A and B are shown apart, each in its own frame.
Chain A
């Protein structure tokens, strides 16, 4: 597979996730629990690229998120960029290249993102934030992680993920 065709295939997978966020997610029930496909696209991109590029990609998706949900403008940009950077760096340093640990990475990514968004957005105090972090965030992290693992298994050839050790 050439570098060009490989990039095209990865771009197609990321594009599918972006489309899924807007076309599939509304069908998946409670929006607080439904997987965040757009954030998953950032993480999938992050685990196969350099931290700097992952940070820039996270920043841009965070900008889109902040524009569609302008509660604390800038908070999603920061959170997505930091998580993208950490995911790319952490994956290279600590994590093996397999779907299981990638699932854990996706779970942690959603949790860290929500903590950063609430903290940096000034919404971390109060019982609403408490329930968000104790209940809704772990549930969404779980659904996002499961979806991420399914995506990696489904597109492991395009994403160069080892299904078996």
Chain B
């Protein structure tokens, strides 16, 4: 079969049209890109994602059963102690004239991993707008922060992991140091680290210090573990230091996540207007 038979005008036209469409898709504004992607996910991808969802459930069910039983036993012991603590807390709140805390709601979702060289930057999740998930919903795993929801469909959503170059979160230590956490350049094939930037030079953050979300802005509630400081990555003499941080949760280690659909972003409502602080 000769090459001339395989390079007709139609073939050339087809590849040109495909390349032009791909370039156009890359160039159009992000909201339009999201709309096109959502249209595909809500139509042709639905049965495929449903199939992958069932597979993930089947694959993880046995291991999860053993873990759940162990966790349930531990939780029972904790619950017995919690009752006494809750009672004590209510009494103290009453003494301080505080109202009850705002209620938060969490939605569990399975992780559907995709293929491709950029698959480690996002996740498809099996919970969508019908479960109350919205864009910018924080995504956590039992160890801590994992990322944030980017786009939402009725039954599925796409979340950005902390490995994504655009990921940013305001962080704090328990002693009050604050900074901005973002992905650090990789140092090895399996090494995925975060970096804490913008820490004033006078604030030394020792290795082993745990970082938590600071609660600035409207996305992440305060107090979610982010990771642990490993050491100084670089410093701008007399101005600031950048620290390397080992994330609390490795994206490759999670099979399911928790979405904080109603995080306690503003706790001021939990206090009485007249009661002050």
- Within 8 Å by CB of B18, from A26, A59, A93, A120, lies A59
In the docked arrangement, what's the CA distance between A92 and B21, Å? 26
Binds B, one of A3-11, A45-53, A146-154: A45-53
The answer to whether B49 has its CB under 8 Å from any CB of chain A is yes
Interface size counted on chain B using CB atoms at 8 A: 60
- Within 8 Å by CB of B113, from A26, A38, A72, lies A26
- Known A-B contacts A50-B11, A55-B18, A70-B158; the reply to A26 vs B56 at CB < 8 A is yes
- Where the two chains meet, the residues of B that have a C-beta atom closer than 8 Å to any C-beta of A are 1, 3, 5-8, 10-15, 18-19, 21-27, 33-34, 36-38, 40-41, 44-45, 48-49, 51-52, 54-56, 59, 113-122, 124, 150-151, 158, 164-165, 185-189, 252
In the docked arrangement, what's the CA distance between A73 and B37, Å? 8
Contact B33 A38 (CB under 8 A): no
CB-based nearest A residue for B255: A26
The proximity string for A residues 112-127 relative to B, scoring 1 for CB distances below 8 Å and 0 otherwise, is: 0010011011010011
Contact A93 B3 (CB under 8 A): yes
Contact A65 B116 (CB under 8 A): yes
Give, as a whole number of angstroms, the nearest-CB distance from B69 to chain A.
23
Give, as a whole number of angstroms, the nearest-CB distance from A47 to chain B.
12
- Chain B positions within 8 Å of A66 at CB level: 25, 37
Main secondary structure of the interface of A (DSSP, over half): helix
CB-based nearest A residue for B44: A64
- Chain B positions within 8 Å of A59 at CB level: 18, 21-22
The answer to whether A25 has its CB under 8 Å from any CB of chain B is yes
- Chain A positions within 8 Å of B7 at CB level: 51, 89
Give, as a whole number of angstroms, the nearest-CB distance from B164 to chain A.
7
CB-based nearest B residue for A66: B37
In the docked arrangement, what's the CA distance between A130 and B188, Å? 9
